[in-house]
A and B are shown apart, each in its own frame.
Chain A
């Protein structure tokens, strides 16, 4: 079953309703599940939002009728009515905010702004509150850009930290849905700071907030160009790692993928493997198992089979399997990168423990043809990443073993000491000298 490793059902509870849509769309596209099931899920999803028209459309396509249930029609009327009333109550403030000249008068000082609005334009706390509600309503209706704007302005005026936090969440969701990754990343960082610094009522709430944040960030990190560093930074942060281990084990998949793909962050691999091992009793999927096979058991055959499964997993994952169309080709860039890096991993590890390797076996292990493998190796040797030679007659790769000379080892271990002692001496002497000079000067 292709859907065995699908995580949507685990991820979805931590997301906003609207954020689940892209996931469902993706699943529909991949045809992992019945179309009907997905459509039903969509209606279910929409039932709590205000996107009634959309729900009606789906309903029609699902049951192939033009009839819509009465409750939907009722709901539509209700929604429209509420929209009207909210529009009215928020109108003064909105009209104020739409006037660029008037907005100029606002200052960074919130208290001043509120007072000013209150005195000169009769805009009080009620109107500001209405703005928030209106923005929320807009968001519910699917008007994300409008919601984002209003929420931005609301934040400038809001004094209640709780409200401000939820406004920020709303803004983030809106930006994600509009796919403004840069802005979304900014919002994400802002939110992270607030979550880390805020005193939550209970540690549990804070944990929950962190987990939400991590889930939401998946959208950004796998789309933003610098996201792969971002995800490693965020997820490997102690507290976030704790959160993953506590309540969101499935996020390990994304972390593992990010680490494999990211060439420059090999240093975290060791830590990642420890975490994976610790949590293997409650979460495993092909990607984590691949790493485990390779780095814990040195089981290359196992790694090989897992790698094949990994490919499927990546293709079927809404976050990882993003497609890019180039001309006539549809590629999944992440898959290609992952496979390339994974191959490199296998190859590196294999070379480290061997002194002589049959190239055909190697090719098999890396899922390549003989020629491909040879080319691959030659490239590596040429770029002097690999200290080895190919014995073309017997078709083997011979590693040149190099042992660090004992003398070198000793010197290496002592070199460091020299520097450290020097630093220590300097640290002791300098203040003393400075003090001596100071006293001399004083005299």
Chain B
């Protein structure tokens, strides 16, 4: 294989990079290759076999490909040389060249896979760029052309890198090999402690080799392990190779203390420490001691990855899971062992043997370990490219975690620690809540199948720590297979009720949100709505942590989708509109980073944001969400726009109006491409009353295929569109007709007669339409209410005046603190002028209390007549706030309303605020 060459150069480059990035690392750089070569080779192997599989003309393709690759490599080399002499003009040239080459390469490869070489170049450039910018003096010294090139490079790179963002992060987290520590090191130079650690991570050659192989090839481990053991290990072996019976508790304890003391110090390899500790677990004398050491092993395993951004290696994670299970086995076997992390332990506590009767305390915190395990799992999913196989492989590990979580929960419940059990239950809920029944079933099936693999894993663990036979044998007690109830609802119910009973405030709130989300997925809109309104989560969500706020937003989005599927347009609109108000829906749902044109984010903010991202499989489809939102807005806004000028109400959805204006300003209308275009085209059709075209345009959207009951939803949508088209038509043309017959209308809009009658009647009742039925002739007779422009203006003036008076009164109240006595109650008035008085007004006022208009009257209304939603106490969530507000009658209503004003800022959660705080 000619690619051997590539592999070699690559590894050399790798080395160079390291030398550049940290000087101290130079000593180790000379002697690393074996591991890298291996890996690079296997990478190439994979790539080559890909193409071999598919086509017969393998040879030629291969050679061109190699040529391209070589070209690229040489360019990379050029760039590197240029960086050394700080020649930016050259770099820019090379960069352009590189891009061209990339095009060629991808053309040949017929795939979108970007060669690693390219990514490497990008990373190199990025780093060097950052370095140069950091070094101000050097920058000043630069020639003008050079500086110019530097700046243009910065722009280009920024633009360019955006498309490869994921790959780059992947590469950084995982530069071909598993040695993320280096790249992390570059990324986070501020973490000084870790920096020191990383440099000394590989103190000796043997270690290094062992490490490389360790990650690299599981199969070889068996043979190489002994050979590659470090000196320390050997020493230890020697010490403990004595007859196991000669080893005393003290020996083990001393060794254990030694190893623990070395933790975090210079010269301690993290991986190595794990090995040592694992070894110690086998020679531990008492179960308690074994447990104590096991806990240390687990912590050491968590320590392996020092960075916040990266995740723990997958293999390590799995071993960690196995260790957790072992811990649980031990705890089940010896129920007198108590795990505690609050009290200082007695030195000799773990010396107590199996036959000790009383409780033995061991330091540790199962819940903390479990939570860490979960977040590592989460992080690893965040970091993996969702379009790769790795991601799916990683997802398959989920049942593994479920097992541990379930067992931990069982254990905690058995020992009566329900508070911690609730925490664990929450973790389990968070793995299940977003899964529709199909996915849930698939997970159950996977868990069924997984047992075989797991057995392998166990075996692996066994092999890994070959050594003297285990002194304390622990049989497998806890089940290694998760058990799932038939439907995910059952599982949720069990877990959620546990959390509601024992959880703390945050846990409860999160569980509640997950519950809402889950109900929404399962099309149980009323239940989800009641849960949301009863729990008063909207009131306090802004005070909660950002992760919970994101969860809240997700739940709201899902609730909106659910309402839409159920045909509740107004409710769906109420849920979704706030998400779209700011235009940062991606950020609000943590599904990708949105770039804002107006303010740049600092790298820290970006990093934080990236850490909050949802893994891909939990995403809510944004296109569907946008389509839903815009269609709801369309159905509400279009009739509103058609109503005559004098009683035109304020636009309900400003975002939609703005979009519509933009699209109307365009000189030429192209065929619709994205979701927005489609809805805008539909809107234009609907404005003309052409319901068929409107529906066709919307039905063309391909996001509908994501819906389970697609046909039903589209039928619903069609009826809604017809109805709104009818309303629009009537409002627009009522002035032109004296009368319209019912039959004519039914044939025009293809609506059943009863429905049409009811719609028109409703409009008449609500005085949207000045008309009445003529029963004997079955037609609508319009009463033309003439209104001149002067009248219209007068009405406007009257409105403004009343606003003026109101603000006067408010000012008076604010200054005196009292209320005005003897005034007519304004509550009733507001009710009349409010949003149509229909049921929709209700929903909005509760949800979107932030809407500017009539804040005053609105909350008054809630205090006085409403309260329907504020249900108080089901599920144990108290509602003192509301009760207080209602207590004082009118005065209470007022004060309540002022409170409403204060927190009247957008309900939807603002993430940036949290960041700054």
Contact = CB atoms under 8 A, between A and B. Distances in A.
Interface of A: 202-204, 206-207, 238-239, 241-243, 245-247, 270-271, 274-275, 277-278, 281-282, 296-299, 301, 349, 352-358, 361, 394, 396, 399, 401, 403, 406, 409-410, 413-414, 416-417, 419-421, 423-424, 427-428
B842 A356 contact: no
Nearest to A362: B775
Given A355-B774, A357-B775, A245 B873 contact: no
A173 to B, nearest CB: 25
A396 B774 CA distance: 10
Given A275-B868, A420-B809, A424-B805, A352 B765 contact: yes
Given A401-B783, A423-B822, A424-B820, A271 B872 contact: no
Contact of B764 (A246, A277, A353): A353
Interface residues of B, number: 54
Interface stretch (B189-197, B278-286, B597-605, B878-886): B878-886
Contacts of B876: 202-204
Given A298-B758, A417-B802, A356 B824 contact: no
A239 B883 contact: yes
Nearest to B804: A417
B148 interface: no
Contact of B794 (A296, A297, A410): A410
B775 A420 contact: no
A203 B534 CA distance: 13
A243 B867 CA distance: 11
Contacts of B45: none
A416 B764 CA distance: 26
A424 B774 contact: no
Contacts of A282: 526
Given A245-B868, A417-B805, A428-B812, A356 B761 contact: no
Nearest to B529: A278
Contacts of A299: 754, 757-758
Contacts of A278: 839, 868-869
A169 B820 CA distance: 42
B787 interface: yes
A297 B770 contact: no
Contact of A271 (B787, B865, B886): B865
Contacts of B757: 298-299
Contacts of B758: 297-299
28 contacts: A203-B872, A203-B873, A238-B886, A242-B872, A246-B871, A271-B868, A278-B839, A278-B868, A281-B526, A297-B758, A297-B762, A298-B757, A354-B772, A354-B775, A355-B773, A355-B774, A355-B781, A356-B773, A358-B776, A399-B772, A401-B772, A403-B785, A406-B787, A416-B802, A417-B805, A423-B820, A423-B822, A423-B823
Contacts of B822: 423
A420 B772 contact: no
A278 B776 CA distance: 36
A278 B823 CA distance: 33
A421 B808 contact: yes
Nearest to B772: A355
B700 interface: no
A278 B839 CA distance: 9
B791 A424 contact: no
A423 to B, nearest CB: 6
A278 B842 CA distance: 10
Interface in B733-777: 754, 757-758, 761-762, 764-765, 770, 772-777
B241 interface: no
Can you list the 3 inter-chain pairs with the closest CB atoms, starting with the nearest?
A298-B761, A203-B873, A238-B867
A274 B798 contact: no
B773 A354 contact: yes
A353 to B, nearest CB: 5
Interface string B387-411: 0000000000000000000000000
Contacts of A271: 865, 868
B43 interface: no
A174 to B, nearest CB: 29
Interface string B805-825: 100110010000000111110
A212 to B, nearest CB: 14
B451 interface: no
Interface of B: 526, 534, 754, 757-758, 761-762, 764-765, 770, 772-777, 781, 783, 785, 787, 791, 794-795, 798, 801-802, 805, 808-809, 812, 820-824, 829, 837, 839, 842, 865-874, 876, 878-879, 883, 886
A314 B156 CA distance: 79
Nearest to A282: B526
A294 to B, nearest CB: 10
Given A274-B842, A358-B776, A361-B775, A203 B868 contact: no
Q: Which of A297, A349, A357, A396 has the most CB of B within 10 A?
A: A297
A414 B798 contact: yes
B754 A301 contact: yes
Contacts of A428: 812
A427 B820 contact: yes
Most central of B761, B765, B785 by chain A CB within 10 Å: B761
Contacts of B837: 270
A278 to B, nearest CB: 6
Contact of A420 (B805, B839, B865, B879): B805
Given A353-B773, A358-B775, A242 B798 contact: no
A416 B526 contact: no
A428 B813 CA distance: 11
Given A274-B842, A352-B765, A355-B781, A424 B812 contact: yes
Contacts of A298: 757-758, 761-762, 765
A353 B773 CA distance: 6
Which of A204, A296, A353, A358 neighbours the largest number of chain B CB atoms within 10 Å of its CB? A353
A203 B761 contact: no
A89 to B, nearest CB: 40
B801 A204 contact: no
Nearest to A236: B865
Contact of B872 (A243, A396, A420): A243
A298 B754 CA distance: 9
A410 B839 contact: no
A281 B757 CA distance: 24
A355 B778 CA distance: 11
Contacts of B526: 281-282
Given A238-B886, A355-B773, A245 B805 contact: no
Contacts of A242: 867-868, 870-872
Contacts of B777: 356
A271 B809 CA distance: 28
Nearest to A396: B776
Nearest to A357: B775
**Most A Cβ at <10 Å: residue of B758, B791, B873:** B873
A399 B761 CA distance: 16
Contacts of A270: 837
Contacts of B770: 403
Contacts of B783: 401, 403
Which of A355, A414, A419: most chain B Cβ within 10 A?
A355
A203 B879 contact: yes
B775 A356 contact: yes
B765 A424 contact: no
A427 B812 contact: yes
With most chain A CB atoms within 10 A of its CB, the pick from B798, B805, B870, B872 is B872
A241 B868 contact: yes
Contact of B867 (A241, A410, A424): A241
Contacts of B869: 278
Contact of A414 (B781, B801, B865, B870): B801
Nearest to B757: A298
B809 A356 contact: no
A21 B872 CA distance: 32
Contacts of A203: 872-873, 876, 878-879
B858 to A, nearest CB: 15
Contacts of A417: 798, 801-802, 805
